Amino acid sequence: MQNLKITGSRKNILQSEYYSVIADLLNLPEIQKLKNYQHHITTTRFQHCLNVSYYHYKICRFFKLDANSGARAGLLHDLYFYDTKHYIRQKPAVKHCKYHPQTALHNAEKIIKLNDLERDMIYNHMWPLTPEKPKYAETYLITFVDKYCAMIEFILPQPKNFIHFFKKYRHRKLQKNY
Ligand SMILES: [Fe+2]
Ligand SMILES: [Fe+2]
């Protein structure tokens, strides 16, 4: 059994209702493959997707929305397999922020049957950068949860990451000035 942790939470999700909603997806090789990709500087894409899935599930439940679809779409919302940094360097004209939801949806549909709500959440999780407006309240929510998770993943794990990032940034700036 996997050791699953949620950033910013001490809850053992293996014994939760949430886990039963996503258990069938977790062991798919495509989802496991996300562990090989760095995401938001300090975490993996797998951990980020798991975080979005978990917090989105909790908030959807609180508002009596479709929490199960919210959890599943959260786990699939960044299902793409390339290094974001290299992609941006190689194809600067192609906006990663705008197009990766389409790639994620395409990849998700190859491995699992999605409902319309899950499709909308994956496709529009970067709204307002994506061309279409979200159709559901759950989709608006995931846009916030995604950003919230990106923030806690960067700040919470170790304050030293934060310091290291700014030292690196300052160093680069100093080099440019010479
Ligand atoms: Fe994304
Ligand atoms: Fe994301």
CATH number where 171 lies: 1.10.3210.10
Read off the pLDDT of residues 116-153 as tens digits, 9 standing for 90 and up: 999 999 999 999 988 889 999 999 999 999 999 999 98
Interval between CA 167 and ligand 1 midpoint (Å)? 26
Query: Does 164 fall in a domain?
Result: yes
Instruction: Specify the higher pLDDT residue, 162 or 49.
Output: 49
Quote helix, strand, coil % in the chain, to nearest 5: 65, 0, 30
As beta bridge partners, residue 62 has none
Helix (H) or strand (E) segment spanning residue 120? helix 116-123
Interval between CA 61 and ligand 1 midpoint (Å)? 22
Question: Which residues form the domain of 150?
Answer: 13-177
Contact yes or no for 117/65 (Cβ under 8 A): no
User: Residue 157: pLDDT above 70?
Assistant: no
Query: Does 109 fall in a domain?
Result: yes
The ligand whose atoms approach the alpha carbon of 129 most closely is 1
Query: In this structure, what token pair is assigned to residue 28?
Result: 């798919």
Mean pLDDT rounded to a whole number for the chain: 89
Query: Does 1 fall in a domain?
Result: no
Interval between CA 104 and ligand 1 midpoint (Å)? 8
Report which DSSP code applies to 133: P
pLDDT at residue 76 in the model? 98
Interval between CA 29 and ligand 2 midpoint (Å)? 19
Query: Does 110 fall in a domain?
Result: yes
User: Residue 59: pLDDT above 60?
Assistant: yes
Query: Does 142 fall in a domain?
Result: yes
Q: Which of 38-42, 46-50, 74-78 has the lowest mean pLDDT?
A: 38-42
Interval between CA 15 and ligand 1 midpoint (Å)? 28
Interval between CA 146 and ligand 2 midpoint (Å)? 5
Query: Does 167 fall in a domain?
Result: yes
> What are the residues whose beta carbon lies below 5 Å from ligand 1 (ion)?
78
Query: Does 129 fall in a domain?
Result: yes
User: Residue 86: pLDDT above 60?
Assistant: yes
Interval between CA 102 and ligand 2 midpoint (Å)? 13
The structure's pTM equals 0.85
Q: Into how many domains does the chain fold?
A: 1
Query: Does 122 fall in a domain?
Result: yes
